Structure 1
Amino acid sequence: MFLSIIIVVLGLSLANASCPHIVSKKEWGGLTPVHVSYLPRPLDLVIIQHTVTPFCSSDGTCAEAARNIQTYQIDELNYWDLGMSFLIGGNGKIYEGAGWLHVGAHTYGYNSKSIGISFIGNYNNDDPTAAQLDAVKALLRCGVEEGHLTPDFKVVGHKQLIATQSPGRRLYQVIRTWPQWLEDVTPIKNKS
């Protein structure tokens, strides 16, 4: 019995070993959400965006960017929380937004059926760093392993679903090469 418990605990810790560290809201100084609504799981859609804010490359500037975005979205846009599920800093760190479990406010009409991942910066001008791309790929693998994403999930650019330049030309060019890329969004596109 004791050996079985040790094996289960060891198995759980090994299962999470491949998941990257996500900087929690508490760690980056985020506010508690005003309200939460829960996502169904697993999801099969990931939307990649950019914040159109200055690029950040240090822990301090990336945490400050996350705080500024959250404050703006709560105070000015009346969102319940930071709208994106996750933010990716130029330092290669992943910042918790609405997370895996909560409905975000990142893409009108798709919030309750997708995960929104936003790169901090303007990727019409900035190139995504290798550290950022590695972090997102690790996050997506973890999402599948932990049952948040289906094994056959698809990735799209924000601009494929609504009228925007997001995720920026340079980032869009990169994500189009990913194996999960969905070129034709006609089957998933909202009819409005």
Structure 2
Amino acid sequence: MSWLGAPLAWALLALLGLAVAKEENQMETCCGPIVPRREWNALPSRCTKKLSLPVNYVVVSHTAGSHCDTPALCRQQAQNVQHYHAQTLDWCDVAYNFLIGEDGLVYEGRGWDLMGDHASLWNNKAIGITFMGNFMERSPAPRALRAARSLLACGVALNALTPDYELKGHRDVQQTLSPGDRLYDIIREWPHYRL
């Protein structure tokens, strides 16, 4: 290496180090992959009620229907849930702010700032996250759990959730079996869970 090459190499390594550090820092506050509504072919929303962000609560539920473990199946399942809520029940949209697939992806429902229809008296003060599937007898895939935890960290980073938000199971706020026994056992171990 020439006498000019060594300092140049060190400068490049230093720049690379800074770039890696910056990227790692951004990753801590960056949301994981969220499938936008247009990519899962969501119907247009008729919802208008906004949440006052940041909110202090997150309510976790399950759809109690079919599970999905590929992007194609999860897109279809998100459409099915929305169709039931918007067409059959005549709600303004899918009830949840976000839907979690066992493909490891988060599907945008009403998003961070629109009030959901997921937990009665809690709708105006909580983000509703649902896992697509029935988790009474089995646990969601680990990648679905990671996606949900990443989404929660993202909510704090975006100031949609307070840093000390409380996580609740659907059955904690309403008379229901949701989010299923196995999923409920898991979320009760998460740091923000409060009864």
Q: Larger deviation: 49-58 or 33-42?
A: 33-42
Alpha-carbon shift at residue 49 of structure 1 (Å): 0.2
**Structure 2 match to 1:113:** 125
Alpha-carbon contact 1:94-1:135 (below 8 Å) kept: yes
Trace 1:35-74 onto structure 2 (pairs within 5 A).
Answer: 35-74=47-86
Alpha-carbon contact 1:55-1:126 (below 8 Å) kept: no
Alpha-carbon contact 2:29-2:154 (below 8 Å) kept: no
**Structure 1 match to 2:146:** 134
**Structure 2 match to 1:168:** 180
**Structure 2 match to 1:102:** 114
For residue 43 of structure 1, what is the amino acid of its counterpart?
A: V
**Structure 2 match to 1:5:** none
For residue 74 of structure 1, what is the amino acid of its counterpart?
A: A
For residue 116 of structure 1, what is the amino acid of its counterpart?
A: G
Out of 15, 27, 50, the residue aligned to residue 39 of structure 2 is 27
Q: Unaligned stretches of 5+ in structure 2?
A: 1-21
Question: Which aligned runs of 4 or more in structure 1 are off by greater than 6 angstroms?
Answer: none
Alpha-carbon shift at residue 15 of structure 1 (Å): 7.1
Q: Unaligned stretches of 5+ in structure 1?
A: 1-9, 184-192
Q: Distance in 1 between matches of 2:93 and 2:85?
A: 7
Normalized per residue, the structure richer in helix is 2
Alpha-carbon shift at residue 125 of structure 1 (Å): 2.3
Q: Distance in 1 between matches of 2:96 and 2:188?
A: 21
Over residues 111-145 of structure 1, what are the superposed CA-to-partner deviations in whole Å (9 max), with x where a residue is unaligned? 11100100000000231111011111111111001
Alpha-carbon shift at residue 26 of structure 1 (Å): 0.2
For residue 59 of structure 1, what is the amino acid of its counterpart?
A: P
**Structure 1 match to 2:101:** 89
Alpha-carbon contact 2:47-2:114 (below 8 Å) kept: no
* Secondary structure of the structure 2 residue equivalent to 1:112: coil
* Secondary structure of the structure 1 residue equivalent to 2:60: strand
For residue 173 of structure 1, what is the amino acid of its counterpart?
A: D
Instruction: Provide the TM-score with structure 1 as the length reference.
Output: 0.86
For residue 104 of structure 2, what is the amino acid of its counterpart?
A: G
Size of the alignment, in residue pairs?
Answer: 173
**Structure 1 match to 2:16:** none
Kindly name which structure, 1 or 2, has the bigger radius of gyration based on alpha carbons: 2
| Change beyond 3 A, Cα 1:102–1:16 | farther
**Structure 1 match to 2:14:** none
* Secondary structure of the structure 2 residue equivalent to 1:54: coil
The RMSD of aligned alpha carbons is 1.7
Over residues 75-108 of structure 1, what are the superposed CA-to-partner deviations in whole Å (9 max), with x where a residue is unaligned? 1111101100100001010000011010111111
Instruction: Provide the TM-score with structure 2 as the length reference.
Output: 0.85
Alpha-carbon contact 1:90-1:129 (below 8 Å) kept: yes
Alpha-carbon shift at residue 42 of structure 1 (Å): 0.4
